[in-house]
Structure 1
Amino acid sequence: MKSFRGVMAGALILEAITVGLAVPVVARLGGGVGTAGGWVVIAVAVALVVCCGFLRRTWIVPVILALQLALIALVVTLPAVTVIGVVFLAFWLWALWLRRDVARRMAAGLLPSQQDPDRTGHDGPA
């Protein structure tokens, strides 16, 4: 599942950029960057980038999901940031479901790359 780590790294960087772009929204609508909400948004953006370095660890997926919940927890003070959290939480749940499905198919030998071309029933080009 090395390729899935690449997908995770790309998604983390894209999410960090998106959360970082929310900082001006926090500055204008959230009472300023120096508020608790502003610091949380900045901390989550930095934590998302840091998570890229720990993708081989088994505990990183719960940490990533916890960061999504931290963004969603800002619903009262920063609803725009909550939307980012909800969208990326949906992505992460979908990606984890895909990873589980591929692992299940891989274990059962059902992936197309695991099929024996001689057993397909085709005699070759017609």
Structure 2
Amino acid sequence: MSAKLGEILVRENLLSAQQLRDALDYQREHGGRLGFNLVKLGLVSDDMITAVLSRQYGVPSVNLELFDIDDSVIRLIPHEVAQKYSVLPLSRVGATLTLAMVDPTNVFAMDDIKFMTG
């Protein structure tokens, strides 16, 4: 089983064990995802979380500002679905649709989108 986000941040000296405990206490009280709460509390940056999660899940991170996305690709996924799953279609080559996803572990999103787009 892969290590949890907090454990990785502590192991890589990006966060102290005490900061992790504080963030977990905050999470228990206020809810939300740990990565979001760590950024909200000012303990780490968005870029740090993105880099760690990218390595953890073996998926590349992308800078959306560098993409010129064709309108026909954007229309492949209805706005409501893209919003629901926090996804953005980036390109389509043949039968392969490349997505930017906030949560690349969301199998339900991938299954729904695969069903919708063929």
Higher relative contact order (CA 8 A, sep 6+): 1
Say yes or no: TM over 0.5.
Answer: no
TM range (shorter): under 0.3
The structure in which a higher percent of residues are strand is 2
- TM-score, normalised by the number of residues in structure 2: 0.27
- TM-score, normalised by the number of residues in structure 1: 0.26
Bigger-Rg structure (1/2):
1
